[in-house]
């Protein structure tokens, strides 16, 4: 066990450029001592605020709290981000061990009566303090975090809140671990080459590489998206597609990684916490701090989109049924058939497929293009820093600077799947932006994806969807990189849940703009620039099955609100409850033994509980916002400067609705999204 501060790299001042994390020195055994030391320091800092005999002020209470816990924040940011991207059994054990300690510390702060009394004293004199906008925002958020965190509870209720919070923390951690285990547990190994029929060469190569890494013969496919997605779209063998579909969509149902009872436990714990705090449902509690502030507003928004989308989604599915029948398919079209026949119809209708497009999108060219877009819009440059270590050999580190040469951020990018990394793509930070005692600390931003690795003969090649994902997470990254503020808790992506996706989703639009694509998309073998005819087809195919995919997203959002909008806990089983909620939205036959709830980490181990609708709300925001770029030019520095000033740099230092109006000149309109999708 490491205990000496001088030898623990998590407790040392980093000697690396910009104070970067010393990943070359950090080992698993360093985390627990660092956590314990960080908690000890943070408690002492809180105690000092409480013990201060001066009258409570913004500086000695609110600002002092904001500045406290720097060691703990640093250790937590490094540990939990690495846990998601490069986990192992030891890291997972540490997470379980430290979770109750962190929950106990959170309770130490949030249920600290003398501390809350000081915060409340400052809050009550807020009108006379002459605070600046970001200071007022920090005071408001600090006060509300106490009130929403149980500070007004007394006696047994306070103890009950602490116990429920600890149980919830452990339950959500277990849910995520179960999903990762279930995802990694399934592998489809093929030894008969005939069963590879329909698979493009890049999918075959991936299967060969995965098999070799697993010490298997033949070709192996798993449930990571770069493997699962293409397999479902291209494999001719319907039975193999069925096996893959069932495996993917039954994760967390039964077996050692069962999440069925855990879903209800998590929902029940959240409901009990909300009730203790005086809210009718967890959704009422969660939405209070969002742009859409009530369950009625969110449900109305989701139903408005569903009413507009469901009839067209059914038409789109029927078109695929008809197409499949015309091409010899017999029987009822099932969920494991949809992607396969949809891909064939898309290929025929637009004469373009991912297999045809991928050679034009080598990862290295996409990196240059995406970084280059940030240069054109915001004047940023990206310098590869091989002297700054990362947490895994696949990770690249870039030094981001603006036009004046000012250092803006360190940018860690981690593109490839591995067993130690969870599925999906995300942006996070090892350190956020802040200014402390006149010293500016620029952020350490991380972008993580699961793109296909290079093979023996080919570089890593992206599909247009993966380029869109890259741009999406890069938008989040820009939100972090371009932060300008004093208080870390108000900087970067620290905004309301239903606003945070605006900077990411607006970036996706460039993936369909000919002027952008022609600047970099070249065939990796021939060097040929992507033909205009292909770009036209990419653009034309953008809204292919748009209503179907919108309904699919609405399934997640409506299911989320059904779980978290309950005022009385359902007695139904997890699978029956979900079935009852989603049956009216079904566009394909239900599949027994499958579910969304048991593996959707966003809702049950991430931060999107009663917030999944925010993806759609953000699409409304970005559709309206991007129309200004279309009007002024997609590389308009004028529009980009306004977006940077009013959205990206501000973080959560101002009201989000006000920030949006400053940029766009009006409130967002749902019709903007429906027009964009052609619905």
Residues marked as catalytic? 473
Of the candidates 7, 65, 74, 62, the one whose C-alpha atom is nearest the C-alpha of residue 38 is 74
Beta bridge partners, 190, equal 219
Could you tell me which residues come within 8 angstroms of residue 155 by beta carbon, excluding any fewer than 6 positions away?
A: none
Q: DSSP 3-state assignment of 398?
A: strand
Taking the C-alpha atoms of residue 263 and residue 99, their distance in angstroms, rounded to an integer, is 19
Tell which residue, 192, 455, 233, has the closest CA to residue 354.
233
Three-state DSSP class for 529? strand
Of 28, 10, 33, the closest CA to residue 83 belongs to: 28
Q: What is the 3-state secondary structure (H, E, C) of 189-225?
A: EECCHHHHCCCCHHHHHHHHHHHHHCCCCCEEEECCH
Task: Assess contact for 640 and 377: CB atoms under 8 A.
Answer: yes
How far apart, in whole angstroms, are the C-alpha atoms of residue 267 and residue 678?
36
Q: How far apart are the first and last CA of the chain?
A: 60
Q: Is the dihedral of CA 131, 132, 133, 138 positive or negative?
A: negative
Integer Cα distance of 276 and 111 in angstroms: 14
- Its sign, for the CA torsion 147, 152, 158, 164, is negative
| Residue 261 burial (C-beta neighbours within 10 Å; 0-12, 13-18, 19+) | exposed
Length of the chain: 679
Report which of 430, 508, 483 is spatially closest to residue 645, judged by C-alpha positions. 483
d(CA 282, CA 269): 9
Q: List all residues 6 or more positions away from 445 whose beta carbon is below 8 Å from its beta carbon.
A: 409, 410, 411, 412, 427, 428, 429, 430, 477, 480, 481
Q: CB neighbours of 342 closer than 8 A, spacing ≥ 6?
A: 233, 320, 545
Closest alpha carbon to 652 in 501, 495, 479? 495
Closest CA relative to residue 20, chosen from 8, 28, 12? 12
User: Are 83 and 105 contacting, i.e. CB atoms less than 8 angstroms apart?
Assistant: no
Strand order, beta sheet including 444-448: 381-384, 396-401, 407-414, 444-448, 426-431
Whether the CB-CB separation of 100 and 170 falls below 8 Å is answered with yes
Pairing of strands 444-448, 407-414: parallel
DSSP of 427-493, one letter per residue? EEEEE--EEETTEEE--EEEEE--PPPP-SSS--B--HHHHHHHHHHHHHHHHHHT---S-GGGSTT
Among 96, 98, 103, residue whose Cα is nearest residue 177: 96
Residues in a beta bridge with 561: none
CA distances from 470 to 139, 359, 427 (A): 36, 17, 10
Which of 566-600 are b and which e, b meaning 16 or more Cβ less than 10 Å from the residue's Cβ? beeebeeebbebbeebbeebebbeeeeebbbbbbb
**Torsions phi, psi of 413, nearest 5?**
-120, 130
């Amino acid at each position: 066990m490491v205990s000496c501060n001088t030898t623990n790299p998590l407790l040392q001042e980093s000697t690396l450029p910009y104070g970067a994390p010393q990943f070359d020195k950090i080992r698993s055994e360093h985390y627990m001592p660092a956590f314990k030391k960080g908690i000890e320091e943070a408690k002492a800092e809180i105690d000092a605020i409480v013990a201060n005999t001066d009258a409570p002020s913004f500086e000695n209470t609110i600002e002092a709290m904001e500045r406290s816990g720097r060691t703990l924040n640093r250790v937590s940011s490094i540990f939990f981000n690495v846990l998601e991207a490069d986990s192992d059994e030891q890291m997972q054990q540490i997470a379980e061990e430290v979770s109750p300690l962190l929950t106990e510390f959170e309770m130490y702060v949030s249920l600290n009566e003398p501390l809350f009394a000081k915060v409340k004293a400052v809050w009550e004199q807020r009108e006379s303090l002459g605070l600046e906008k970001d200071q007022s925002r920090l005071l408001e958020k600090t006060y509300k975090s106490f009130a929403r965190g149980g500070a007004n509870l007394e006696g047994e209720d306070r103890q009950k809140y602490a116990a429920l919070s600890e149980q919830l923390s452990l339950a959500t951690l277990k849910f995520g671990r179960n999903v990762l285990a279930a995802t990694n547990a399934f592998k489809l190994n093929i030894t008969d080459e005939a069963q590879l029929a329909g698979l493009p060469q890049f999918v075959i190569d991936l299967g060969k590489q995965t098999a070799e890494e697993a010490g298997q013969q033949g070709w192996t496919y798993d449930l990571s998206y770069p493997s699962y997605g293409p397999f479902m779209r291209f494999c001719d063998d319907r039975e193999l597609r069925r096996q893959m579909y069932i495996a993917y969509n039954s994760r967390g149902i039964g077996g050692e990684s069962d999440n069925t009872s855990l879903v209800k436990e998590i929902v029940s714990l959240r409901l009990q916490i909300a009730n203790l705090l005086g809210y009718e449902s967890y959704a009422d509690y969660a939405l209070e701090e969002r742009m859409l502030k009530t369950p009625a507003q969110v449900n109305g928004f989701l139903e408005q989109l569903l009413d507009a989308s469901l009839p067209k989604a059914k038409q789109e599915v029927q078109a695929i049924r008809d197409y499949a029948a015309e091409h010899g398919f017999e029987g009822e079209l099932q969920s494991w058939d949809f992607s396969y026949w949809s891909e064939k119809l898309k290929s025929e209708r637009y004469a373009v497929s991912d297999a045809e497009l991928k050679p034009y999108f080598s990862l290295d060219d996409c990196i240059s293009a995406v970084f280059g877009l940030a240069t054109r819009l915001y004047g940023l440059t990206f310098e590869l820093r091989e002297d700054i270590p990362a947490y895994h050999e696949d990770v690249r580190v870039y030094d981001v600077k603006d036009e004046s040469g000012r250092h803006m951020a360190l940018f860690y990018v981690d593109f490839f799947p591995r067993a130690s990394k969870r599925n999906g793509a995300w942006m996070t930070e090892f350190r956020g932006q802040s200014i402390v005692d006149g010293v500016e600390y620029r952020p350490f931003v991380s972008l993580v994806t699961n793109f296909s690795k290079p093979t023996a003969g080919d570089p890593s090649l992206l599909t247009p969807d993966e380029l869109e994902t890259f741009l999406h997470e890069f938008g989040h990254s820009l939100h972090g990189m371009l932060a300008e503020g004093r208080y870390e808790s108000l900087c970067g992506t620290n905004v309301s849940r239903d606003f945070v996706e605006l900077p990411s989703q607006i970036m996706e639009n460039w993936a369909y703009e000919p002027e952008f694509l022609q600047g970099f998309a070249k065939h990796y073998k021939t060097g040929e620039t992507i033909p205009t005819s292909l770009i036209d087809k990419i653009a034309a195919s953008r809204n292919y099955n748009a209503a179907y995919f919108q309904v699919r997203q609405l399934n997640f959002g409506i299911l989320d609100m059904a779980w978290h909008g309950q005022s009385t806990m359902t007695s139904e089983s997890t699978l029956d409850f979900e079935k009852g909620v989603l049956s009216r939205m079904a566009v394909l036959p239900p599949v027994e033994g499958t579910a969304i709830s048991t593996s959707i980490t966003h809702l049950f181990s991430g931060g999107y509980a009663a917030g999944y609708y925010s993806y759609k709300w953000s699409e409304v925001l970005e559709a309206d916002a991007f129309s200004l770029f279309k009007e002024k030019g997609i590389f308009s520095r004028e529009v980009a400067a306004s977006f940077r000033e009013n959205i990206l740099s501000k973080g959560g230092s101002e009201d989000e609705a006000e920030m949006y109006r400053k940029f766009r000149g009006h409130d967002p309109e749902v019709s903007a999204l429906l027009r964009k999708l052609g619905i």
